[in-house]
Amino acid sequence: MNDGKPYAIDLEIYDDDRGFLVPLTNELLPEMIRRVYVVGNFAKGVIRGFHYHLKEIKMFYIIKGAAKFLAINPEHPEEKYEFVVTERKPKVVVIPPRYANGWISLADNTLLVSMSSRTIDEIREDNDDIRYDPFRWGKDIWEVKAR
C-alpha cells in the first residue's frame, strides 16, 4: 500500500480488433480482496458516501461512465484526496482504512466494481461502518472545477 494513504493505480488496456481487456488486480495483493460487488448510479450527480472504516480497504474501478472519488481524513480534514476516473482512462482507486470515502457520478448510468478487504459479516461483527453526511466537509467538494 502507498504509505497508508489513498492512491490510484493507472491500468493498462490491451485492445485489438476484437475489443479490449483491462486487468484489475495485477497491482493489488490477493489478501486485499475478500468481497467484490457492482454499484450503479442511474443519474449524473448521485453521491455515495461518506463511509469510514477502521479496518477495511476499499477499491473502486469504473466500468461505465465517470466518477469523482473523495477520501478525507476525519481527524485532519485538510488531508483530502481526489480522483476523477472514467471508463476511457482506467484506474483502480484504493482507499485504506481511516479515510472517509465517497463518490459522485459524473455521467448518467455510471457503473463501478467495488472491491473490499473484508466481508459484510466481518464489518458487521466489528461495527466497522461509520457513515458521515455527504456534505459534512462542504457542498463544494463534490464540484468539478472548470478548466
Across 111-136, average pLDDT: 96
Residue 5 has pLDDT above 90, yes or no: yes
* Cβ neighbours for 76, distance < 8 A, ≥ 6 positions apart: none
Across 95-106, average pLDDT: 98
Q: Are 63 and 87 in contact (CB under 8 A)?
A: yes
1 confidence band (pLDDT: 50, 70, 90): low
> Looking up cell 463544494, which residue turns up?
140
Helix, strand or coil for residue 34? coil
**Would you say domain 7-14+39-132 falls under CATH 1.20.1740.10?**
no
**pLDDT attached to residue 85:** 96
Across 12-20, average pLDDT: 92
pLDDT digits (tens, 9 = 90+) for 20-55: 899 888 888 888 999 999 999 999 999 999 999 999
Query: Residue 84 belongs to what H/E stretch?
Result: strand 80-86
* Residue extents of the structural domains in the chain: 7-14+39-132
Higher pLDDT, 22 or 104: 104
